[in-house]
Amino acid sequence: MNSKQEKYIKIIYSILCKLYQIFSTLLENIFFRKSTSSNPIKNLGYFKYENSDIDLNYLKEIESQKINNYLYVKPLSSKQIKKIIKIVFDFKFREYITSLTGFEYSIDYMIIYDRKNIPEKDRNVPTLKRAYSYAWHFDKPNSSNMLKIIIPLNISKTNGPLKVIDRFSSRSNKLYSPVIENEKTGVFIGFGNKIYGFNPTLCIHKDGIPKGENIASQIMFQLNPYYKWSINKNISTRKSQFKNQI
């Protein structure tokens, strides 16, 4: 396949993804929306929720599985996943999310992953060969209402935090030129007691690269609008490529 063919395929794929995003968003707004969205999700496209009652320290004892030289994932059983979801998505937090977005959700995907430092020489590679999603991007194909929930487990500002450009600024930023961060850029830091959420199809975002020997660990959930709060029955059996989900 030559470069011209690859260019056409990328264009067609982008168009199909955009059409899917528009159509699926429209259907969700018609059939699943409970109320209109509110600030900060409406303006920023992301939010922060602090919960000092969450205790996820036991997750450190779960042995990680190597995906590549810089990405490790903690394999979880269905029982473990449901236990974590019960801790995180208590009634108060579910109500908080619905009040912000106007939706109830199906929790469709969950992953706990560790990111290591990637040397400069290994960073300039095609998208599909990247160890994890350290370049600015939008998620696709997904609806505009899809929500990702992030819980940093050991991440400070200098330890590779996930960054999110606010919804309005994301419209004017172009992925083929340097993305401009500003005072509204979300920096997801925390040690298991802070929960973040954002719309990854509307906000440009990327995982940070830890410095030196540091390891950045976080939990990610993917939520899609549904007629009631629920857990996808296949959540523990999905075999998607890990690095394409984050």
pLDDT score recorded for residue 14: 85
Spatial separation of the C-alpha atoms in residues 48 and 31, rounded to whole Å: 27
Spatial separation of the C-alpha atoms in residues 17 and 185, rounded to whole Å: 25
Strand 71-73 versus strand 65-68 pairing type: antiparallel
Per 3-state DSSP, the chain is made up of helix, strand and coil in percentages (nearest 5) of 30, 25, 45
CB 41 within 8 A of CB 97: no
Burial (CB count <10 Å: 0-12, 13-18, 19+), residue 51: middle
pLDDT score recorded for residue 246: 56
pLDDT score recorded for residue 239: 46
Q: Smallest Cα–Cα separation from 205: which of 239, 163, 156?
A: 163
| DSSP type of residue 190 | B
Residues 6+ apart with CB under 8 A from 154: 191, 192, 215, 216, 217
Spatial separation of the C-alpha atoms in residues 219 and 26, rounded to whole Å: 29
Nearest-Å Rg of the Cα atoms of the chain is 18
Q: Which residues of 128-155 are buried (b: 16+ CB within 10 A; e: fewer)?
A: eebbbbbebbbbeebbbbbbbbbbbbbb
Q: Averaged in consecutive runs of 10 residues, what is the pLDDT profile of the chain (246 residues)? A: 72 88 94 86 92 82 93 93 94 96 96 96 90 94 96 94 95 79 95 94 96 95 97 75 50
Residues 6+ apart with CB under 8 A from 95: none
Q: Smallest Cα–Cα separation from 164: which of 21, 47, 71, 37?
A: 47
Q: Smallest Cα–Cα separation from 134: which of 171, 160, 156, 108?
A: 160
